[in-house]
Amino acid sequence: MSRQIVLDTETTGLSAEGGDRIIEIGCVELLNRKLTGNNLHFYLNPERDSHEDALKVHGISNEFLRDKPRFAEVAQEFLDYVQGAEIIIHNAAFDVGFLNKELELINSPPFATFVGVVTDTLVMAKEMFPGKRNSLNALCDRLGVDNSGRTLHGALLDAELLADVYINLTRGQDALLIDLGTVEGEGLGHASVDLSQFTLPVLHPNESELAAHGDVLAQIDKSSGGKTIWRQMLGGQTQTVA
């Protein structure tokens, strides 16, 4: 069973190394590319104020965060939740950099040691749409994902939007497959159909259809210089259709 976690964070600013901290983590779970509703969401006390520019982006006031838990208090629950999963992030270097810094502050190994792999949808989008804007809003517009409720950035809402964007970005192959169900432990299953259950009608051609078919065969035979397979099988005679 393929387990994926779509993750987003909001922060006090742009520099983890400069002392900025995570104030919100939003995670959305996908099992076999379907939303499960088993999401994880935290507001965090960053023990510092957000920069003014960051406040304009996320709108989460310093006062609102005063009584929220610190990262250290939720770290184990968070790590248990993401354990072993594929993590999907838009501009992964930013979020992973902040997560690594938070983990470093509690003497924990880096984020990558707890998860399976990190997939960056920004990298995917740049490969698919070179030279175009590939922000989350731009991708929502391009892929038909409704982001009308996104007036400010919010980690859980953005993770939910990104889950829809990711499914749309990667559905090309799925569109070629007929969903015949899945076999547990085997991914996409293949259903067998017993054709003996069906009575298939035989439709006989009428005279005009036979004549039209004969004309097409004659044209093909002429174009090939008499080298069609049916002429060879008939010993050089022209095939007639009765």
Contact status, residue 152 vs residue 57, Cβ threshold 8 Å: yes
Q: How far apart are CA 242 and CA 225, in angstroms?
A: 23
Q: How far apart are CA 48 and CA 50, in angstroms?
A: 7
Q: Known catalytic residue: 153?
A: yes
Find the helix or strand (DSSP H, E) in which 204 lies: none
Task: Give 203's strand partners.
Answer: none
Query: In 57-197, which ranges are E strands?
Result: 86-89, 117-120
Contact status, residue 150 vs residue 157, Cβ threshold 8 Å: yes
Burial of 49 (0-12, 13-18, 19+ CB in 10 A): middle
- Residue 216 is which amino acid? V
Q: How far apart are CA 175 and CA 184, in angstroms?
A: 21
* Annotated active-site residue in 41, 58, 90, 153: 153
Active-site residue list: 153
